[in-house]
Structures are given as C-alpha cells and as structure tokens.
Structure 1
Amino acid sequence: MITPSQLAADRLAAEISAEIQRTFGSRQAPLAETVGAVARLAIECIANSDALYHDWEHTLLVTQVGLEILRGRTLFEPVEPADWAHLLVACLVHDIGYVRGVLAGDDARLGYVVDGAGNRTVLARGASDAALTPHHVERSKLFVAARLGSSDLLDASRLVRAIEYTRFLPKADADAAAPADEATLVRAADLIGQMGDPLYLKKTKALFHEFEEAGLNARLGYVSPADLVEHYPEFFWNSVSSHLVTATRYLEVTVGGRQWIAGLQANVFRAEQSRSGSPAAGLGNQPSSASTSPTSAA
C-alpha cells in the first residue's frame, strides 16, 4: 500500500540527496544517501504518531525551511557538506520524541522513557502522543544517541546540541548579534516551518488541543483556538522575531526563502486583522504563504 507519508518520505529523501550532490559533487554521494535514509526513517516513524499537530507534515515543512536556509547560506559563505548534513538531520528528528515506541525502553504499561536515567512517564488512558510534549526534546536526543550514535558520517553530540535549541519557549539569546550557528538555525527552521506553513491558521485547532493535553492552555491563559491567532502578533514580535534574524538573511537570497518570509509576514497581518475584526481577517481561512502560532510548541 502506498501512503501519503511514504510518498512524502521518498520525495524529501530524493530532494535532499540530489541537492547535496548538486552542491558538493558526486564525491558526497555516501553522505547524501545517509541523510536521505534518515529522511525516510524520520518521516515514516513520525507518521505513526497520533499527535494532532506535530505530525510528519510539520517535520517535512521544517526540513524544507532548513534546506532553503542552507541554499542561501551557501551563497554567502563557505559551507561544508557536514554542515548541510547535520542541520538537515537535526530538522528531521527534532520532534521524533513525540512518537510512542520510538525508544527501546518504551512500554505502554510500564511507561515511556523521558530521560537518560531511564525514568518513565505513564500516559493517561486515551492520551495522544501530545502528552509527551514536556519530554519530546529529551526523547528526540535519546533517539539520536541510540540510532545515530555509531554513524561514521554523523556526529550525534552535534545533533543533540541542535535539537536542544528547539525547546519551547526559544532560548533568550541575542540571535541578531550572534554569528551563524547550527543550533540557532535549526531553531529558526523549526519556528519558520510552523509559522510559515501556508495552512497554519487551519491547524490552530489541532495545536490548541495538543496544548490542552499537555497542560499548556491553562498556563498560557488560552480558552479557545482563536486565542492562538489573536495573541500571535505580540508573541511573534516579542518572543520569536529576534531568533530569526540570521536565518532570514539567508532566506532572502533564494526564491523559496522569500516565499517563507512572505508567509511569516502574511500571517502576522492576518492575525492582526483577526484581532481587530477587519473583513480582511476572512483571508485567514484561505491557504496563504504562511501561518503561525502564538505559542510555537515547535
């Protein structure tokens, strides 16, 4: 049986592999094939998740942003094949910790592993994978150590550091003043992949229910999916935009990158119009170049 996730996995793997070889030549075929294999593994693993928002499509979008960032960065400065590989693999596996059963110690009855010490959490009856939100970053790091730790071409510690930067809320560093850094670029790809999603406004209901299951709505004061849209502009400008400066500079020099930037800007506009009650807010129900969540649980 051919499934949408399988088609997406094959297409993404082929695109990544071809782009690495197109940029660095056929000598990098082994590295390109390795990253392509991780793409298939990640997408097909995440396709098993029942989280409503953090699904394989989210991972696909984040990885596409990461690829576009690399294309732009390569036009600015020398970038090594290993830089491409590690940024892309970090994008691919940053949310794999949401998937129950992805770690060797996971057990539906005994609980799901949440840290390197082997501690577990038991999920409530009927819970979805979104209940692992507080632990998914640590679980993703454990997955990397277990599955990629012996790779000759990938440095697991490098991947772990990049994944750590995708925690919600974003780490408070001055990205605007910082040099290009792999971990901050992965974080930016995660945020832009969510907030630049052409269908994001249609997905806020799914994200709201994930937040509810993870206990985030009470903490954030959200009582309706509409709150995610209405509070988005201030969240974007106060908590997100400063982390996108370097990545945006790279995105601005490619056609695909400019489409992601346009999407981010369009979603801020739609959210502002939605809050003001303007007729233009109706555009938010249409697919556009972007979307966003006031609380990006990237």
Structure 2
Amino acid sequence: MFDITAVMIQNCIDRLIEGYYHVYGSSHSRNLCSQHIDVLQKVATLTLSTLAFSDAPYHDIEHTILVTLVGQDILRGKQRLEGNVTPEDWLHFIVGLLCHDIGYVKGVCRLDRRRERLFVTGKDCKFIALPIGATDASLAPYHVDRSQQFVDEHLTSHPSVEGDRIKDHIEFTRFPVPAVALYQDTHHYPGLTRAADLIGQLSDPRYLQKLPTLFYEFQEIGMTERLGYRHPSDMRAAYPSFYRNIVRPLIQDALLYLEATQDGRQTIRNLKMNLYRVECDRPLLAA
C-alpha cells in the first residue's frame, strides 16, 4: 500500500544528505562526511517517524520538514555568501531543526507516563497532567524544554553530536520571544534557527489553508482568548500586522541568505504571496 508518510520522510532525508554532500563531499574527509551523514539520516528517521504519530493539529511532521529544508537553504546561502559554515555548524543546525518540535509528542520523553496522562515538562523533573482528549498541542507551553530533554536522552551518545549546541539552537524557537537581550540576536545560528522556524511556517504555500488547525491548537491551550481571536478568520486578518511587527525583524539576516540561492528566492516569493493574499482579502474579512 502506498505510504505517503514514508515517502515524505525519505524525500526529506535524501534532500538533507544531498545538501550536505553537495557542500562538503569533495572538500572534507570521507570519514567525516560519512559520520555526519549517518547522524543526519538517523536523527531525521527518528524524529520524523515519531512526529508522524503526533495528533497535534498543526505542529506535525510536515511542519518540521518544511522548517528543516528552509533551514538548509539558509545554510546554503550563508555558505555561498560568506564561506564560513563548517561541517559541524551544518550538522548541529540541521539536527536542531529536526528536533525543535519533537517535544510536542506525548510519550517522547523517557519519564512520560502515557497511561496516567502525566508528561514531563522538561524542567525540574516536574510533570503536567493532561485531560482526556487533549492532543499533543496541549504540550505547547513545554515543548521547547521537552525537545531539549529529548536531545539529552537520545542524541548525546554520538561522538559527533554536541548536545548543548543543539539545545542552544532549540532554545531560540521559544515564542513569543523572551524579552531578554540574549534572544534578540538574529545573526548567529540559534537566531537563524528561529528564522527557519518562522519562515518555514509562513512560506508554506498552504499556510493560509492551515490557519484553522493552528487556531485550534491555540484554542486548546487558551491562547485564542488571550489574543482576542474568536474564529480562524481573526488570525488571518491579524496576519499582516503579526508579520510586519513581530516576524519581519527576526528574519532579516536569514532572508539575505535565502536571496543567494534559487530555492531560497522561491521561499521568499511564497512568503510574500501569503502576505499579499491576506491583504487582498482584507475587505472581505472586514465585511
């Protein structure tokens, strides 16, 4: 039987291996390349096959694939413009993106107790109890810490992997962005990880069609009330302001790198098209 999920996973793995090998295959030792490619393949298989079983309405396997591939294009552009992306930089950046939302998945941390609906928060050995019927989206407030715990539990045994480095990248995907000077950096790799997360989401050609699923995730954790959203259309109407005031300042460095490659330029066109479509709809949304 045709398995679209398996096809998605294999396609992503193939593109990650091709992307790494295209940049480093002829200029670095064969042993180093094979080690890094082995890590990329194993981590992608582990994370994506796990996310395939998530019941989060929006933060699913497709979201992580889109974010990771946009991140790879950011690296390609940075390497083309500056030539300073090391193989280790590349490896840890991609692994961070593959793992950045794994904490959404119930049962992914070793101490999770699914039958009792008790799940670790990722901080201070604390647990959160979820009600019957809660989806993985209910772990959104804890998913960054849980993703970092997943890295500690599953990835740090490999000699090529620096767990703290990956966790630093994941740390910058917290949203809303903490109001601390540390989190304002948009140029270093953690800042570019955040940019890949945002651009991968907002440049998805089907992002506007997926807004209802994101709305229902927000609704599950009480975020819609805090934001004043009553319907998915409210999120759509607020999108231009959200993009210009919050997202755009965080992605400028990444956009410069995306401009340096053909695939990156297509991503930017998709990003602009989603914004244009909402702005064209504004009279209808206001009616």
- TM-score in same-fold range (> 0.5): yes
Choose the corresponding residue for 1:99, options 86, 95, 105: 105
Residue 227 of structure 1 deviates from its aligned partner by: 0.9
Tell me the amino acid that sits aligned with residue 221 of structure 1: G
Contact (CA 8 Å) 1:38, 1:89: kept in 2 or not? Answer: yes
Matching residue of 2:75: 70
Is 1:250 the equivalent of 2:257? yes
Aligned to 1:10: 10
* CA drift at 1:148: 1.0
TM-superposed CA distance for 1:132, in Å, is 0.6
Deviations 1:139-182 (A, max 9, x none): 0010001111222111110111111110111345789x957311
Aligned-partner Cα distance in 2 for 1:216–1:73: 35
CA shift, 1:18, in A, is: 2.3
CA distance in 1, matches of 2:110, 2:185: 38
Report 1:56-205 matches (<5 A): 56-77=61-82, 78-108=84-114, 109=116, 111-171=118-178, 180-205=187-212
Aligned residue in 1 for 2:228: 221
In the alignment, is the contact (CA less than 8 A) between 2:117 and 2:131 conserved in 1?
A: no
Report the alpha carbon displacement of residue 115 of structure 1 after superposing the two structures with TM.
2.1
Distance in structure 2 (CA, Å) of the matches to 1:14 and 1:156: 24
Q: Which range is displaced more, 5-14 or 39-48?
A: 5-14
State the distance in 1 between where 2:283 and 2:243 align: 17
Shift of 1:96: 0.3
8 Å Cα contact 1:174-1:242 kept in structure 2: no
Report the CA distance between 1:271 and its aligned residue: 1.5
1:35 matched to which residue of 2?
40
Q: Which moved more, 1:52-61 or 1:150-159?
A: 150-159
Deviations 1:84-128 (A, max 9, x none): 111111111100000011011111205001024221111111111
Q: Deviations over 1:165-213 (max 9, x none)?
A: 10111345789x9573110010000000110000011101111111100
Deviation at 1:13, TM superposition (A): 1.3
TM-score (normalizing by structure 1): 0.89
Q: What is the identity, as a one-letter code, of the residue corresponding to 1:37?
A: K
Alignment: residue pair count: 277
Give the fraction of aligned pairs with identical amino acids, expressed as a percent.
40
Structure 2 letter corresponding to 1:9:
I
Quote how far apart the aligned CAs of 1:257 are: 0.3
Q: How does 1:16-31 map to 2 (within 5 A)?
A: 16-25=16-25, 26-27=30-31, 28-31=33-36
- Structure 1 residues 31-54: Cα deviation after superposition (integer angstroms, max 9, x where no partner): 112112111111100011000100
In the superposition, relative to structure 1, how do residues 212 and 67 fare at CA in structure 2: closer, same or farther (>3 Å)? Answer: same
Q: Which one of 47, 54, 57 corresponds to residue 52 of structure 2?
A: 47
Distance change >3 Å, CA 186–CA 210, structure 1 → 2? same
Contact 2:173-2:197 within 8 A present in 1 as well: yes
> For residue 268 of structure 2, what is the aligned residue in structure 1?
261
C-alpha separation between the residues in 1 aligned to 2:120 and 2:42? 25
1:44 maps to amino acid: S
User: Unpaired runs of 5+ in structure 2?
Assistant: none
SS for the counterpart of 1:248 is helix
In structure 1, distance between residues paired with 2:52 and 2:45? 11
Provide the alpha-carbon RMSD of the alignment.
1.8
Instruction: Provide the residue aligned with 1:273 in structure 2.
Output: 280
Distance (whole Å) between structure 2 residues aligned to residue 275 and residue 179 of structure 1: 31
Which letter does structure 1 place at the counterpart of 2:110?
A
Q: Distance in 2 between matches of 1:112 and 1:180?
A: 34
Runs of 4+ in 1 over 6 A off after TM superposition: none
8 Å contact from structure 1 (residues 165, 171) kept in 2: no
Q: What is the deviation of 1:275?
A: 1.8
Looking at structure 1, the residues matched to 276 and 10 of structure 2 have their Cα atoms a distance apart, in angstroms, of 35
Give the match for residue 216 of structure 2: 209
- Judged with a 3 Å threshold, the aligned counterparts in structure 2 of structure 1 residues 137 and 178 are, in CA distance, closer, same or farther, namely closer
Runs of 5+ consecutive residues of structure 1 not aligned to the other structure: 279-298
